[in-house]
Amino acid sequence: MSKYLVFGHKNPDTDTIASAIAMSFFLERQGYDAEPVALGTPNEETEFALNYFNVEAPRVVTTVANEVEHVALVDHNEPQQSVDDLADVTVDYVIDHHRIAGFETAQPLYYRAEPIGCTATVLLKMFKEHDYDIPKSIAGLMLSAIISDTLLFKSPTCTNQDESAARELAKIAEVDLEKYGLELLKAGTNLSTKTIDELLTLDAKSFDMNGRKVRIAQVNAIGFEEMQAQKAELLTAMDASGYDLFVLIVTDILESNSFGLVSGDDFTQVEAAFGTTVIDNELLLPGVVSRKKQVVPQLTAAYEK
């Protein structure tokens, strides 16, 4: 029986790591040999969750075809966000909650993507549909994923399904949802120890928007002062990245507002997408907290006009 490697996108966030672990456990319950792996090291928020629930971080890989023939993808489907040798393996499963872009396979597969706030919410449905019990530690990680992706239910991506799933998982994990949720989110806002490169790659995804190479990074913070003080250094690094457009979204998780730093040759699409003017490579984004719902679709539409 073939072994599956299960992994999410590059620059993994909490949903990516938690969903890889949960999906691997699901596949094992189905009778397969499966291992969660990661396409990068966990961030501090994810490390907090892993340590809290005493789960070992998945090992980091850069290639998969040298190990297996079959893989399962979680929390992504776009090839540019995936492992570099994805074309050399067979994708048998995709569990996701993002748009579908640039993804195709030569063979049928199990593909499940729902327009909800978190991949872990989709996975909870799958566990329940098969009447599989979820271990306390995995339930805790899945809960952490929902808290992270929905900013403790403040994000516009959050649905009633996500909130209901979180409350169900909190019971299994035996934690106080609100208290644990705030501790988890705050763990991801420690920016003082990070280099400029780490800030720009901590949670960054690449997109092809009408033939243009676009990079969108997001950093969660408490207040904007620390990131604004590093504006010049951040922009210098963004300018050297080679992307047609590089947008860094800095989100205040307590106030549910963001500001953006923008690098590139032309800000026309950015200004059209958000109905505002870029001044000195910066724009205000009041009420914006979700890259998936409040940034990517707007920029994609602007580039296609």
Residue ranges for the binding site for Mn(2+)?
9, 13, 15, 75, 97, 149
Sheet with 59-60, edge to edge strand ranges: 59-60, 33-38, 3-7, 70-74, 90-96, 110-113
Beta strands in 20-157 (DSSP E): 33-38, 59-60, 70-74, 90-96, 110-113
CA pair distance 252, 199, nearest whole angstrom? 15
**Residues 72/4, Cβ–Cβ less than 8 Å:** yes
Binding-site annotation: residue ranges: 9, 13, 15, 75, 97, 149
DSSP code per residue over 172-222: HHT--HHHHHHHHHHHTT--TT--HHHHHHTTEEEEEETTEEEEEEEEEES
Q: What are phi and psi of 229, to 5 degrees?
A: -65, -20
Strand (E) or helix (H) holding 249: strand 245-252
Beta strands in 25-99 (DSSP E): 33-38, 59-60, 70-74, 90-96
First to last CA, the chain: 48
CA pair distance 301, 57, nearest whole angstrom? 37
> Any bridge partners for residue 95, and if so which?
74, 112
